[in-house]
Homo-oligomer: A and B are copies of this chain.
Amino acid sequence: MDNTPSVETRYIDLPAPVQLDCGRELHPVRVAYETYGNLAPARDNVILVCHALSGDAHAAGLSASPSAAGTRDGFAAEDRDGAAGKALGWWDGMIGPGKAFDTDKYFVVCTNLLGGCRGTTGPSSIDPATGRPYGSDFPVVTVADMVRTERAVLRELGIERLAAVAGGSLGGMQALQWAVSYPDEVDAIVVIASTHALHPQGVAWNAIARESIMGDPAWQGGHYHGTGRAPEAGMGVARMVGHITYLSGPALEDRFARRLQFADDVRYTITEPEFQVESYLRHQANSFVRRFDANTYLYLSRALTYFDLARQHGGSLTKALSAVQAKTLLIAFSSDWLYPPAASRDIEAALAELGKAVEFHLIEAPYGHDCFLLEEARQTPIIRRFLGEEGDSE
A:84-130 near B, CB below 8 Å = none
Question: How long is the Cα–Cα vector from A253 to B346 in the complex, in angstroms?
Answer: 15
Contact with B along A227-243 (1 / 0, CB 8 A): 00000011011001100
Contact with B along A253-276 (1 / 0, CB 8 A): 101111000000110111101110
Q: Which of the segments A46-54, A298-306, A317-325, A370-378 contacts the partner chain?
A: A298-306
Question: How long is the Cα–Cα vector from A305 to B265 in the complex, in angstroms?
Answer: 13
A298: chain B residues at CB < 8 Å are: 270
**Min CB–CB distance A286 → chain B (angstroms):** 11
Given the interface pairs A139-B268, A268-B21, the reply to whether A215 lies near B233 with Cβ below 8 Å is: yes
Question: How long is the Cα–Cα vector from A282 to B268 in the complex, in angstroms?
Answer: 32
Per DSSP, chain A at the interface is helix
A:1-51 near B, CB below 8 Å = 21-23
Count of chain A residues with a beta carbon within 8 Å of a chain B beta carbon: 60
Decide yes or no whether A385 CB sits under 8 A from chain B: no
| A241 in contact with B282 (CB, 8 Å) | no
A:265-317 near B, CB below 8 Å = 265-266, 268-271, 273-275, 277-278, 281-282, 285, 298-299, 302, 305-306, 308, 311
Question: How long is the Cα–Cα vector from A277 to B305 in the complex, in angstroms?
Answer: 12
Question: How long is the Cα–Cα vector from A216 to B257 in the complex, in angstroms?
Answer: 29
- Given contacts A136-B271, A197-B258, list 5 more A-B pairs with CB under 8 A: A200-B275, A204-B252, A207-B278, A265-B311, A266-B306
